[in-house]
Chains A and B, each alone.
Chain A
């Protein structure tokens, strides 16, 4: 009956297993069937023919097919029952006879054991090969992982639950100034690289964002902290921390970071430039607009405003280049800084416009400050430019006054100052430029005087209107003012390079630019521009022909050429006038207007020589 049940159970289990592939329940059933089968066998055969030797087959099967614990329980139950069975039946047993059946049982059980051992060995061998394969794959994976880690530009390190380093890549070592991974492995990374804040104050581990985040199993991202190198220097970092979770438990964290020092510096620079003027270091308009509200308080009354504008900046830029213009601005700004007190706001709100906000300063106090600024500025020279400023002052004395209105008032004062002083400023500036030219090149002063004198006589001889003669005289005196931009070395040379000739040929243009900036000389600027044009069109700067060239320019051209030869130091005194007349005669009709040349030759030949 038990055997029939064993067949039925084993058969059902086999069918079930082959249909479902569910190993574990079938394994339990199979071991149960094996044990039942053996028990029924011993019930029948008892002790006879060494049949009990088949008991030894249960443990190998149980251990092989079941989990270790389950196998032990099954074996224990089975052997417990068998012990009971043997003890309870032993008194009835007589000595077993050794016969063919006994031999069959002993050999069968031994053979079965041998097969099981072989099977075990084969299985162990397969597992060993598989394990070796897995180890090789793991080594490959580890090498790949190491390669990926080390080739990453981002620094990466791992920590365990206590915050000790478990690995780090090459970028990490390089950024932190270490040469070997062993110098970090096993060390507490917070104490090693994250112990202090940017300002050097201690950064307790319990406050550390990495530590806090991974304790909670969360990730963290920060870009406002620093890490510390081995040499004790720090650098700004952007880091991300990710918790490492194994079987549901937090076992550590992986931290990736980058050195963002350069990025921070650029951000700081951009931030600075968005609030401060790069040229002067003063506040720019944006910064001024933000700060003026803070200074516009009752406590700061009276609040004075100085609106200032640097004169002649455009001329400086046009004539002497933007480097000179920048120098002018920088020097004026330095004076503003020098005179103003801590707490005053100085801002460059336009190209040449400045605003000074002076808290707790009366109008009289502001006027004193302005006076000091003007006197210091007057001593500044850039190239041939004497620095000067136009400025207006206004004071807010009542909280109900709008600062905008006060600033507008100061602005109007500045424009009024500019307008009132325009004429004298113009005259002074022109005198400064001419004076500078003549100081630099004394020969040019004499040449200007000679040309002016000759032009006056020639203009009269040509019967020009008095007004034109006056213009002619003025233009003749200023005709070479554009040479102020030329380098002294060029002016002292006798032979010029091509570049130098090109530079010299620009002096009419610079003369035109300078003179067109002043009201008094605006109408003669055009004559200066054309005084190197030639009658035959081979002159410069425009190559005008014949009467396209203004009459005054033509007269200046003849007189200027005559004066230069007639007063040259290279010829003996008695040869100069004939040489000059010869030069003008030779150039008549080509370089010079023939009529004007003839008039000059006649004039030069008269008793009162040029």
Chain B
């Protein structure tokens, strides 16, 4: 199972990467919006975890890209510090499947990931 993590905070990436790799998933990483853009267009993933604030393209645009432009059904989990009502609603409207705010619990993240991937 391949997961793409789009996040610019190095520590967060490391934490998620470690946790998910231990659970047996294959984790690919994008450090900024542009990289994420390229990867989404060129590869297939079973799940995408993305932050909203990244250099170049923001998370909301990525969701739009994946769900509306590329028309893929890959589940998207948003993991962001931004927690205000509008942004959350906007994310779901654009097609996000789940929204976690930071600070997050790696255990919780892992369970949610599992939930999405079991369905596949």
Q: Do the two chains belong together in a single complex?
A: no
